[in-house]
A = this chain, B = another copy of it.
Amino acid sequence: MSSNYKDKKVITIGVISELTGLSERKIRYYEERKLIFPERSSGGTRKYSFGDVERLIDIADKMEDGMQTFEIRRMEQKKMKNSELRDKMLRGQLNAAFNLRK
């Protein structure tokens, strides 16, 4: 709740590189492949969040396992769809339960 530090985009790429152990080249490339979405300062400098650090470490693990960027992207989307599906089913059940009571 309240101020969510984890998702505030405030960290520059140099620090992200240190935090993740990934080269700046890799980090920029994963953005090009739509795996990560930094914000930009008015001057054009990329800004990342702690959540991005976690995501990058996850990406790095999958790359090490021989996965390709498009597969990782597809996997993320599938996860999204699954959670949307879960939400939808949950809402449906709640509605059903609610309708029984009235």
Within 8 A of B (CB), among A39-98: 41, 47, 50
CB-CB under 8 A from A19, the residues of chain B are: 10
Count of this chain's copies in the oligomeric assembly: 2
Residues on the B chain within 8 Å of A11, using CB: 10-11
A6 on the B face (CB < 8 A):
yes
Query: A14 within 8 Å of B by Cβ?
Result: yes
Max chain B CB contacts within 10 Å: which of A6, A8, A10?
A10
Cα distance A5–B12 when bound, in Å?
15
Q: Which residues in B have their C-beta under 8 angstroms from that of A22?
A: none
Given A5-B5, A5-B6; A15-B50 close (CB under 8 Å): no
Residue of B nearest to A6 (CB): B5
Task: Give bound CA distance, A77 to B6, whole Å.
Answer: 30
14 contacts between A and B (CB under 8 A): A3-B50, A5-B5, A5-B6, A5-B50, A8-B50, A10-B10, A10-B11, A10-B15, A10-B19, A11-B11, A12-B12, A14-B41, A15-B41, A15-B47
